[in-house]
Amino acid sequence: MMQNFVYYNPTKIHFGKDVHQKLGKTIQKYGQNVLLVSGQGSIRKNGIYDACIATLAPFNIKVHEFSGIKPNPEINDVYEAIRFGKTNKVDVVLAIGGGSVIDSAKIIAAGITSDDDVWDYFVTSKKPLHSLPLIAVITIAATSSEMNSFSVIQNKSTQQKIGIGHSLFFPKESFMNPEFTYSVSPYQTACGLADIIAHNLEHWFGEGDSPLTDSIIKSTIHEIFEIAKPLLQNPTDYNLRARMLLASNIALCGITAMGKTSADWGAHGIGHMLSVLYNIPHGESLAISYPAWLESVPNKEDEKMIRFANEIMQTQNINDSITKMENFFQSLGLRTKLNENALNKNDSDNLLYIINKHKINGLNYTLNDSLRTEISHLIYI
């Protein structure tokens, strides 16, 4: 049956060509002393940095820059940014980048207002009480971090990669200019396409019967199937980039959760451990983990599984759908298996150890030690 739900999303979205030109005017509503959080330098090379900074000058906005956020964001970088923001007494955070940058900025914005160890938000019941305003400029279509309350951060010392959500993590306003995604490499574009599909599937396999929501999920996945190859061949096609950016946003802004108790997140949990162990980009980790997760599900006649095969993958059974999914991801240039011979044997053994240690599980489809063992074996060639 359809489950009770509360939908809340306070983020204001600016979508389309040249929307970034309103960035300075928007920021000055929230503060004048800005912490600019970014990644590893691409926004300076592709012109996005200059385009955004130019909008701030007329409003006398002071900018303190913190760069170097990694594709799999790390808690130590978050700690350093918090210290930097406190030292400079910033009153607003501006994130320019992809999901990793925005996820990090959410925790940074909360951490600047507190003396908490922000990793406690991920591993204990402690929650933030305050946060600085966050403005986001998205440069990669993948996670919908620009319009949701989630953050995923990894801690290398504990071998954990954990996602949390809190209403304080919603950006106040976000800017989505499809032209800002033109320079994303074919490989990172493919990772984003896989991520969008996986976010939709996590909600498809969540608990609850919500036909309209499922129709949105199907349509969004089919949109990705339709645009993927043309987009990789024409990376500066505005309409294709816009369609991917919108699909990314819809996949994890809360709409696909309506009528569901929750998403499942089991395949994501496995993918997170692959990223921790091998530093695999998140999207490709899901191209590897999702087929293995699907193959491990004991009841292939489950209604959601049958409908996934018939309605989403348009195949006759779950086994054919897994093959079709793997073929699609491979056509994008992504791996769907890991070559065990190319890996350190100890690292290979560590995957099973780490997913059992952290009891990686789904919220709807339960994983036990036996199933986790099967998944870990399916991941390797």
191 and 173 together in one domain: no
* In-domain check, residue 7: no
* In-domain check, residue 347: yes
* In-domain check, residue 2: no
Instruction: Give the integer Cα–Cα distance in Å for 54 and 268.
Output: 38
Instruction: Give the integer Cα–Cα distance in Å for 343 and 376.
Output: 14
177 and 218 together in one domain: no
27 and 113 together in one domain: yes
Phi, psi values for residue 206, rounded to 5°? -75, 165
Q: Are 360 and 367 in contact (CB under 8 A)?
A: yes
pLDDT tens for residues 160-188?
999 999 999 999 999 999 999 999 999 99
Mean pLDDT, rounded, for 323-328: 98
174 and 287 together in one domain: no
* In-domain check, residue 157: yes
Domain CATH for 221: 1.20.1090.10
Q: What is the Rg, in whole angstroms, of the alpha carbon atoms belonging to the chain? A: 20
What pLDDT is recorded for position 248? 98
227 and 135 together in one domain: no
Q: What angle do CA 187, 192, 193 make, to 5 degrees?
A: 95
153 and 254 together in one domain: no
Cβ count within 10 A of residue 237: 15
199: confidence class by pLDDT, cuts 50, 70, 90: very high
Amino acid identity of 201? L
Query: Which of 151, 181, 211 is where one domain is finished?
Result: 181
What pLDDT is recorded for position 352? 86
What pLDDT is recorded for position 350? 79
Give residue 165's domain range.
12-181
Please give the tally of structural domains in the chain.
2
* In-domain check, residue 106: yes
342: confidence class by pLDDT, cuts 50, 70, 90: low
298: confidence class by pLDDT, cuts 50, 70, 90: confident
* In-domain check, residue 5: no
* In-domain check, residue 144: yes
What pLDDT is recorded for position 165? 97
Q: What's the chain's length in residues?
A: 381
325 and 356 together in one domain: yes
115 and 240 together in one domain: no
Query: Which of 181, 205, 237 is where one domain is finished?
Result: 181
369 and 299 together in one domain: yes
Nearest to 271 by CA among 338, 222, 221: 338
159 and 223 together in one domain: no
170 and 192 together in one domain: no
272: confidence class by pLDDT, cuts 50, 70, 90: very high
Instruction: Give the integer Cα–Cα distance in Å for 237 and 328.
Output: 21
Is the pTM higher than 0.85? yes
Specify the pairing of strand 62-66 against strand 33-37. Answer: parallel
Long-range contacts of residues 40-48, Cβ cutoff 8 Å, at least 24 apart: 40/67, 40/68, 40/69, 40/70, 41/67, 42/139, 42/183, 43/96, 43/97, 43/139, 45/183, 46/182, 46/183, 48/96, 48/137, 48/139, 48/180
229 and 359 together in one domain: yes
**pLDDT at 4 > cutoff 70:** yes
Cα dihedral 43, 44, 49, 53, rounded to 10, equals 160
* In-domain check, residue 6: no
pLDDT tens for residues 18-68?
999 999 999 999 999 999 999 999 999 999 999 999 999 999 999 999 999
Q: Are 225 and 216 in contact (CB under 8 A)?
A: no
DSSP state of 22: G
Domain CATH for 147: 3.40.50.1970
Cβ count within 10 A of residue 194: 29
Query: Which of 181, 216, 249 is where one domain is finished?
Result: 181
**pLDDT at 318 > cutoff 60:** yes
